[in-house]
Structure 1
Amino acid sequence: MVDTVLEGWTTSEQTIAKSAFDQAYARSIDQLIKSVRSKSEQLDTAETIWALHDYLSIQRHTIEGRFDFRPEGILFVFARLVKDELLKLSELDGLDKEKLTKIAAMARF
């Protein structure tokens, strides 16, 4: 993750945001590792190897797109992570109430 300054966010909020973001990223990678281990047990042909390769390529693209810490979209990122169950709203406790309300509302859709 890039050390990005979130303008309009307190130092405490930035620390909370970075920690929550990192936790969600770690969960996403843990899920991927479990999935790859499971899929690797089924490798028995060239086709299954290429299918695993394709799966990993898609997952890399998905993860890189999902975990974008740029200030202009961070509330959307958090909402998506909550919706995808990679982040709990409670892990963002300490953020401004307005930010939490926006994240919670966006996560419903």
Structure 2
Amino acid sequence: MTTTQTDGQWSNEERRIAESALKKAYRKETEALIANIRENAANVTRLEDVWQLHDFLSAKRHDIDGKYDDREDFLMFTLSKLIKTGLLDKSDLQGLAADKRAKVTVLTRM
């Protein structure tokens, strides 16, 4: 007898898919951030530039730390936000149950 996953439950396979998607988006975002910093580091010529870079990085860290919430209750919201911002594609969620993919799609339109 097989059990079905209820709306809020994620199978082990679905958790693996979601975790892989989150890692992909995180890697994409952090690589872009590092490239941006390397590109703009040559423009740091004054102490004020250092503090501005510090403030930018602090804000970015706060943004990134809050963006990748992998708790099951928030996972569909997290995935939809990452799709909306272009860090993920719907194809990255292949293998999730159809109802979960549909909910993520709906949330990307909000």
In the alignment, structure 1 residue 96 sits paired with structure 2 residue 110: no
SS at the partner of 1:34? helix
Question: What is the TM-score normalised by the length of structure 1?
Answer: 0.90
State the distance in 1 between where 2:14 and 2:78 align: 15
Please report how far the alpha carbon of residue 26 of structure 1 lies from its aligned counterpart in structure 2 after TM superposition. Answer: 0.5
d(CA) in 1 for partners of 2:108, 2:35: 25
Residue 26 of structure 1 is matched in structure 2 by 27
Amino acid at match of 2:73: E
Q: CA deviation at 1:72?
A: 1.0
Q: CA deviation at 1:108?
A: 1.8
Aligned-residue Cα RMSD (Å) equals 1.0
1:77 equivalenced with 2:78 (yes/no): yes
Q: Distance in 2 between matches of 1:67 and 1:16?
A: 14
Letter in 1 for 2:96: L
Partner secondary structure for residue 68 of structure 1: coil
Distance in structure 2 (CA, Å) of the matches to 1:71 and 1:11: 12
Please tell me the residue identity of whatever aligns with 2:40: K
Q: CA deviation at 1:71?
A: 1.2
**TM superposition score normalised by structure 2:** 0.89
Counterpart of 1:4 in structure 2 is: none
Counterpart for residue 54 of structure 1: 55
List structure 1 segments (4+ residues) > 3 angstroms apart after TM superposition: none
Report the Cα distance in structure 2 between the residues aligned to 1:27 and 1:12, rounded to whole angstroms: 23
Structure showing greater radius of gyration is: 2
Unaligned runs of 5+ in 2: 1-7
- Give the paired residue count: 103
Cα displacement string for residues 68-105 of structure 1 (whole angstroms, at most 9, x for unaligned residues): 11111010000000001001110001101111011111
User: Where in structure 1 are there 5+ consecutive unaligned residues?
Assistant: 1-6
